Amino acid sequence: MSSLDTLRPPLDGEEFLDVDALVDALDDWAVLEKFSFRTHKREKGKAIWICAEENCRWRVRAGAVDKEEGLVRLVVVVGEHSCFSRGVRKFSSSSKKSWLDRVVSRHLNVTKKTSPKEIVDCLRVCYGETIDYKRAQECRLRLLDGNIGKQRHSFQLLPAYKELLERVAPGVHVDLVRDQHRKSLYCFIFIILTTLHI
């Protein structure tokens, strides 16, 4: 099963948390059916998207759901394309940062050793999409930065975790130790079990 099988076109009348979530669904649809779209008009809580090809009739819009704060509903005005090309490259969904970051992180564990070629190959094999090495490198750097930021945040939580663990489980002793260069923080957990006599 290819990754294209996991993508599906959104349904007419389907509701989304916000316009950005709807755009994510439109991006999946565009990658699945190999077309590109652009924003024709966008205001708070509503938008219109059209095919990026000149004179194509494909058009969808988003409108607010009655009495539901933030929710938007997709309305497919014209669901069939009257154009015959693969779309306009500059509007390609597979080149968008949000789509790239989402699908690449789903298929690859991006580390410092990950090359842009691996990202390009992943998209070609999984989705039949082609991106240039510059976009792949930018995606790699964004994902690396996000992963390192998450790791830093989790390490900052270690002292609070230590305090909570020692309070909740009195038989546990936790030591936080920095390495000799003060770059890394390690957590050592010692569990002292006591036997209960009944």
Q: Domains of the chain: which residue ranges?
A: 1-88, 96-156, 157-191
The Cα–Cα gap between 128 and 197 comes to 65
Alpha-carbon distances of 194 from 30, 61, 164, 167, 175, rounded to whole Å: 61, 65, 20, 16, 20
pLDDT band at 48 (very low <50, low <70, confident <90, very high): very high
- pTM: predicted TM-score of the whole model, two decimal places: 0.67
Statement: residue 92 has pLDDT above 60? yes
Statement: residue 145 has pLDDT above 90? no
